[in-house]
Structure 1
């Protein structure tokens, strides 16, 4: 009887120990919460993807989309507890909808370091810091050789000194991003072209369908709206009273319209004269921010 009793005690003790070990086992997954305002709908061909940096390498936390009101399709993501605990940074990128690359694309839009269990994320440190951005432009149409429609073109240069100099003061963008100029005409944004260096002509200087036939214009970003107007508009036109905008666009671009980041903007004065430099002001959105908690 004594041996049987001792055996029962041993089994009971083993069972208790096993249960205790199970109770203290750490969970294998944890939840990462994302809170971001200001992102835009990327359409059907692109998506947002989050990443944590673990031992210097990116680990995906999952993908989400954003609707037209800016609401995220998903804000909580289940990830490895062990990896999340040692993650040093969070990064958000823009990825093709059918992406097969296991690494983040160049179009990284938000990033921030973890401090304890929170990361304050911003576009300023990963796309560019636009806090000191400034710009000037003139109205002119150098590509058509005519003097009767000089207020139908915009060029981002400064001629205040008597000779043309760079009109835009903008930071160098990270890989995966480009600048683009716009004129909003009767509610329709019409591009002046994309560029990465404000001291050089934009990417479509030689191929623009809007410009005239007398060359490509000065070696700075800009556009003459002389021909081939979009539906609903007429070229040549008069840019007085229109809005001039500089946006920051993902490359490859997700849309033919301006992206949400717009560091510079200006309403052309109703009494503006051609070949005079006008200063731009701050745009409606110079940074996107948010927080991530683990």
Structure 2
């Protein structure tokens, strides 16, 4: 978590904190690191030997609830920038996600001490913005924090108003911590670049399949529906000879990581691991089916 320092917060002693004002202090308790992170494409490739990556899809409803017209307009701007249009007035988030066995209840990047092993080594942007949410506008981050305070109440990391040792993070309309504001915009910029670079063209190739009656209802509003990244890798491999070689390297690294991860799970013999073991084997099969065509393309005269 980015280190932030407390600054004065103008609340009169003895008065209730202003509505929507939250302060934050990371306690390194690990509750935010109990699942693998969302990833950008650059991060998926960088961490090819650490994270098993998947395509992750989620349906997003229009903003509802007791919000102002300004709130709704700000959120609509975020949705247009980062999401894709979907039926019934909804939007679709197509992103990348690391996965691991839920029985482990931890991110694969956590070290033996329970701390982030990537904290000083290109920690994913999705982790840099925690406890905020890059897919919500700045005006709605107070609502994000209120929700996460309920989820992480015993961690005592998110508090309304001010508290010694906690840094002001958001008020009713803005993110007030400069480091977190920079992290939010960096994450949104990367997500927008992914949407333009591969999200929109990949969606165009998968739209018929995704909107089929057997698939679309399975894409949730909470959580993600996972698919093999093989279609994305096939798309990227057509971009340039250099990217083709990079895709081959990625496929080989993922196959090795999947095989090792499954072998470890089989030795652990946890009953809850079985569904993901089958899923990971399916991802490996998709990569093995894709690899020969990538290898043939890399050997063609025009590639050389």
TM-score, with structure 1 as normaliser? 0.23
Larger radius of gyration, structure 1 or 2? 1
Highest relative contact order (Cα 8 Å, sep 6+), 1 or 2?
A: 2
TM-score, with structure 2 as normaliser? 0.22
Kindly indicate which of the two structures has a greater share of residues assigned to strand.
Answer: 1
